[in-house]
Amino acid sequence: MTRSIVVGSGPNGLTGAITLAAAGLDVTVLEAAETPGGGLRSHEATVPGLIHDMCSAFHPLSTRSSFARRFDLTQHGLQWAWPSVQYAHPLDDGTGGAALRSVDETAAGLGVDGAAYRRLFGPLAGRFDELAADILRPVLHVPRHPVTLARYGLASTLPATTLARWWQTPQARGLWAGVAAHAFHPLTSPMSSAAGLVLGTATHRYGWPVAVGGSGAIARAMIALLTSLGGRIETGVRVESYAPLADADVVLLDTSPRAATAILGDRLPARVARAYRRYRHGPGAFQVSLAVEGGIPWTYEPARRSGTVHVGGTLEEITEAERSSWSGQMPARPFVLVGQQAVADPSRARGDVQPIDAYAHVPHGFTGDATTAILDQIERFAPGTRERIVAVSTRSTAQLERENANLIGGDISNGANTALQLVFRPRVALDPYSTGVPGVYLCSSATPPGGGAHGLCGYGAAQAALARL
Ligand SMILES: Cc1cc2nc3c(=O)[nH]c(=O)nc-3n(C[C@H](O)[C@H](O)[C@H](O)COP(=O)(O)OP(=O)(O)OC[C@H]3O[C@@H](n4cnc5c(N)ncnc54)[C@H](O)[C@@H]3O)c2cc1C
């Protein structure tokens, strides 16, 4: 039987492992942490019984991805739940913008900018499946839907601040800035619209759901499926050299390119080693988990019903905050993403106390404490939040990296989303998953299609490995 080893059990390690096991390979997953799942883990971070997500919380690209269509995780215990508002963007004057499942309803909330919103997102949302087939994979391929791809491609090359001129009001421009800032990259740089366009469009096709019971439920469903296919997981095993992998015919590395370089050593062809050394990591995240009595009292009412709230004020303020964290300066008012998963999944709460998972974009490897800056930003749009907080737990960039070696300097995307690394990740190659070592593939979010807990990097890497076999 063909033997395979997968190093790392994040969503990409697990989708890779499942794909190999479904093809009849013998699969062992080796995971450094005691709990499998990587970015798909949940824990009781604040008070007993309150379920917080350690990393990923919202899953716009997971419910109907090419992997999900082939492997139905709902058959293995996974349940999705959607908030009524997918993401919201409060402003200082108590107004804001809100993205709903429907393009029309979203547009209706944007006043004079509604028609422009509909013109941009309507056609893309109607063809999102076609778009996904072309963009959620390595870039070098013959497009399946060239017209849809061209429409998205033209807009995605623009800096987010240029695309923002599509709208006039601070509400619509703020709503756009919030979703575009998921790129963790200056909004004035080329291609900084790409992530916002994908996530914004996915909102209207699949929404931004959470997993009932916490993102850990996704990992549990994947592991149940993997086990049913004969695969196994060993936790508490950190792979630091090639020796434990030597007997395998196929190896998938759900690691950073840096860790892959250390593991593969001299086996790595010099040109690949050079490319992996040049691979660049982006700004970090500083996470604050809160237990909040009665939830956060946002002044902008739709934010109370929203799964995600983008906190940072106007387009101009977010542009400045993102520029600052990218260039290594901690912004006084950072961009903060607030997850209110219990809005969609009340089973996460205990009575009236809700779990909140927030993180700020901070400089790479930031060593300070961003807790006050994060709470100040929330309080700015939701006065009275501090009095409702029952418990707080924080994770610095260093803690994130200690708990998961892929989060280098707190970079949650396993690589900066520069224009070059968005298109060619982790290096310019026809097969970006290949490490150049026969049978060994990189499968983490440092490969196409990049960051997020969708698992499509692992799925792509496993397919590349099977094609080569
Ligand atoms: C605070 C935060 C919030 C986020 N929010 C979202 C969100 O809402 N939605 C979303 O889609 N994404 C979100 N993400 C990003 C998402 O979690 C990642 O993009 C995703 O988990 C990447 O998956 P992966 O499999 O590539 O790597 P990871 O999930 O990072 O998993 C890698 C695994 O490999 C293990 N490993 C690494 N090196 C070794 C080794 N040498 N030996 C053995 N094991 C090893 C690690 O311990 C880890 O378990 C968030 C991330 C963070 C940190």
Among protein residues, the one with the nearest Cα to ligand 1's atom 48 is 38
Torsion of CA 80, 83, 87, 93, to 10 degrees: -160
- How would DSSP label each residue in 159-228? -HHHHGGG--SHHHHHHHHHHHGGG-S-TTSTTTTHHHHHHHHHHHHT---EETT-THHHHHHHHHHHHH
Interior/surface letters 355-367, b for 16+ CB within 10 angstroms, e for the rest: bbbbbbbbbbbbe
Distance CA 16, CA 251 (A): 10
Structure tokens at 460: 């792509």
Q: Is the CB of 25 under 6 A from ligand 1?
A: no
> For the CA atoms of the chain, what is the radius of gyration?
21
Among protein residues, the one with the nearest Cα to ligand 1's atom 17 is 39
Q: Is the CB of 289 under 6 A from ligand 1?
A: no
Q: Out of 62, 254, 306, 359, give the residue to mutate to test ligand 1, the one with the largest number of ligand atoms within 8 Å of its CB.
A: 254
Among protein residues, the one with the nearest Cα to ligand 1's atom 9 is 56
Distance CA 52, CA 341 (A): 8
Q: Say what the pLDDT of residue 102 is.
A: 98
Distance 265 CA to ligand 1 centre (A): 23
Q: Say what the pLDDT of residue 142 is.
A: 64
β-bridge pairing 336-339 and 353-362: antiparallel
Among protein residues, the one with the nearest Cα to ligand 1's atom 15 is 452
Q: Is the CB of 215 under 6 A from ligand 1?
A: no
Structure tokens at 225: 């499926």
Among protein residues, the one with the nearest Cα to ligand 1's atom 52 is 55
Q: Out of 356, 399, 404, give the residue to mutate to test ligand 1, the one with the largest number of ligand atoms within 8 Å of its CB.
A: 404
Using an 8 Å Cβ cutoff, are 383 and 299 in contact?
yes
- How would DSSP label each residue in 301-348? HHHHTEEEEEES-SHHHHHHHHHHHHTT---SS--EEEE-HHHH-GGG
Q: Say what the pLDDT of residue 146 is.
A: 74
Distance 439 CA to ligand 1 centre (A): 23
Q: Is the CB of 445 under 6 A from ligand 1?
A: yes
Q: Out of 406, 407, 445, give the residue to mutate to test ligand 1, the one with the largest number of ligand atoms within 8 Å of its CB.
A: 406
Backbone angles phi, psi at 340, to 5 degrees: -120, 65
Interior/surface letters 446-466, b for 16+ CB within 10 angstroms, e for the rest: bbbbbbbbbbbbbbbbbbbbb
Return left, alpha or beta for 251; rule: phi > 0 is left, psi -120 to 50 is alpha, else beta. beta
Among protein residues, the one with the nearest Cα to ligand 1's atom 34 is 8
Using an 8 Å Cβ cutoff, are 251 and 433 in contact?
no
Distance 322 CA to ligand 1 centre (A): 22
Among protein residues, the one with the nearest Cα to ligand 1's atom 26 is 444
Enumerate domains of the chain plus CATH numbers: 3-43+59-79+211-280+413-468 (3.50.50.60)
Distance 41 CA to ligand 1 centre (A): 9
Q: Say what the pLDDT of residue 143 is.
A: 64
DSSP H or E segment with residue 90: strand 85-90
Among protein residues, the one with the nearest Cα to ligand 1's atom 13 is 56
Place of tokens 């930031």: 366
Alpha-carbon separation of residue 272 from 256, 265, 401, 423 (angstroms): 13, 11, 24, 17
Q: Is the CB of 33 under 6 A from ligand 1?
A: yes
Burial of 166 (0-12, 13-18, 19+ CB in 10 A): middle
Q: Is the CB of 402 under 6 A from ligand 1?
A: no
For ligand 1, what atom is nearest to the CA of residue 400? 53
434 DSSP 8-state letter: B
pLDDT along the chain (469 residues), means of 10: 97 98 98 98 96 98 95 98 98 98 98 97 92 80 72 88 97 98 96 95 97 98 98 98 97 98 98 97 98 98 98 98 98 98 97 97 98 98 98 98 98 96 93 97 97 97 96
Distance 10 CA to ligand 1 centre (A): 5
3-class secondary structure, 459: helix
Distance 35 CA to ligand 1 centre (A): 13
Q: Is the CB of 90 under 6 A from ligand 1?
A: no
Place of tokens 């006065």: 383
β-bridge pairing 353-362 and 284-293: antiparallel
